[in-house]
Structure 1
Amino acid sequence: MKPHPTWVLATLVLAATATATAQAQTTGNWMLRGGFTRITPDVDSGDLSAPSIPGTKVDVGSSTRLSGGVSYMLTPNVSLDFPLSLPFTQDITGDGAIAGAGKIGDIRSLPITLLAQYRFFEPTARLRPYLGLGPTYAKLYKAHGSATLSGLTGGSPSQPTLLSADSRWGMTLQVGATVAIDDHWYVDGFVSKTLLRTTATLSTGQSIGLKLNPTAVQLGLGYRF
């Protein structure tokens, strides 16, 4: 005896409802975390444009700040993540032909990143490694040149050499994991790499191209609700 079409339809509706209910129990979870992030640029500097000493390059230092993030579980294994942090302040030092010059300036950076993550294992697993990928907008601002920079480029106390850098888009790759403490609290840690280029410009008209490609390491304590 063939099942009546109405029963077939009813069965399919019930199955779909049960599936949606089961999924609703493991998705829609917000996750908040707070901790610290250290950013370390992997700088590949071009040469400062003329007039300058041939081989004049720069380096950019590391910085650690209070940080955190917000995650939202779209499915039991897929999430969106928005890392947060206070702005980083990073020293700019001479490199190449001016490697001994010391600090020639500093700059603030604020990476704004949105990551799509895939989380391995079941939602109830204590350890959940994850991979992330997404765009980053690196806002570079409040750059200051030092007296050393002015001395190298012909500036003076009355007319110091000014420094600026272009904010740019990049792509971020992320590897991390969460370790559950209980049903709500967890420890989160990740390492990310952002592929990023920028150009720094001096008020003298000179410029220098940089690959920054920073690595970020974050460790934090999170709460799921």
Structure 2
Amino acid sequence: MKKFTAAILSTLMLTAPLAQAQLSVNVGAINVNPSDTASALNEIKTAGLVADSDTQLGITFDYQYNDNIVFELIAATPFSHTVEGEGYIPGSPNTQLGGVEIASVKHLPPTLLAQYHFFGANDKFRPFIGAGLNYTVFFDEEASAALKGVLGTDDVKVELDSSFGVALQVGFNYDLNDKWGLHAMVSKMDINTDATVYADGKQALTSDVELDPIVAMFGVKYKF
């Protein structure tokens, strides 16, 4: 998949004619909605983890390479997610995890994409498609009181590894005048991370977490 994305970027740059470069910025609401498929705990096959969605201030920067090719960098204020349990931990009786808060975590997913914009440079409405690469860093991981209770200790730490993957995108821009416009996009991002829970300094639980979120943004565009 990564080789396919790289091939798309190279082809776009080689096949499109050059035009005067232009910079623009898009500001608006951006939502990250992780997959609702639970990621299983490796040590407990009957239990898993899911994360809720979050909306933050999105800021994206566009560099117009030519009339059709634009490079976009997606940035935002940090996203905060609550990680909840799914399923149960076997016991007598079983410990139900469905809907129980397991941890909270923040992340930043900067993403660089190359877009192909359809129609002419002077058209007000221009849909686009894009492909690129995403890097996600996690921080401020906090174990919940419920997780500490399950593990029987207050010395619980949660760590999530950084993630690197591909991103695909569709969207449109609509010019209101020479400087201002509307910007909308939806992206599918490949975000997978290894989660590790430590209790009293020892590894207690692990999970291969597949977030793979849908990222959507709507805002205003300003051309410099």
- The TM-score bracket by the shorter chain reads 0.7 to 0.9
| Percent of matched pairs sharing the same residue | 27
Within-5 A mapping of 1:15-26: 26=19
Deviation at 1:141, TM superposition (A): 1.2
Whole-angstrom distance in 2 between the partners of 1:207 and 1:165: 10
Q: Is the 8 A contact 1:47 1:209 kept in 2?
A: yes
Q: CA deviation at 1:199?
A: 1.1
Tell me, yes or no, if the aligned pair for 1:164 and 1:200 is still in contact at 8 Å: yes
Q: In structure 1, what is the equivalent of residue 75 of structure 2? A: 84
Given the two structures, how large is their TM-score scaled by the length of structure 1? 0.83
Q: Give the number of the structure whose alpha-carbon radius of gyration is greater.
A: 1
1:24-103 equivalent positions in 2, closer than 5 A: 26-50=19-43, 52=44, 54-97=45-88, 98-103=96-101
Contact preservation (8 Å) 1:94, 1:100: yes
- How large is the RMSD of aligned CA atoms in angstroms? 1.5
**1:128-143 maps to which residues of 2 (within 5 A)?**
128-143=126-141
Maintained 8 Å contact 2:39/2:50? no
Aligned pair in 2 of structure 1 residues 39, 46: CA closer, same or farther (>3 Å)?
closer
Report the equivalent of 1:126: 124
Once the two structures are TM-superposed, the CA of residue 176 in structure 1 deviates from its matched residue by: 0.4
Aligned to 1:190: 185
Equivalent in the alignment of 1:107:
105
Superposition misfits of 4+ residues, deviation over 6 angstroms = none
Q: Which moved more, 1:36-45 or 1:103-112?
A: 36-45
Instruction: Name the SS for the 1:100 alignment partner.
Output: coil
Q: Structure 1 residue 178: deviation in Å?
A: 0.3
Q: CA deviation at 1:43?
A: 4.3
In the TM superposition, what whole-angstrom CA distance separates every residue of 1:21-52 from its partner, at most 9, and x where no partner exists? xx77x5311111111101000044343233x4
Matched residues, number: 197
Partner of 1:9: none
Partner residue in 1 for 2:208:
209
Gaps (5+ residues) in structure 1? 1-22
Are the equivalent residues in 2 in contact too, given 1:43–1:213 (CA < 8 A)? Answer: no
TM-score (norm 2): 0.83
Distance in 2 separating the partners of 1:100 and 1:173: 32
Once the two structures are TM-superposed, the CA of residue 170 in structure 1 deviates from its matched residue by 1.1
Could you tell me which runs of 5 or more consecutive residues in structure 2 were left unpaired when the two chains were aligned.
Answer: 1-16, 89-95
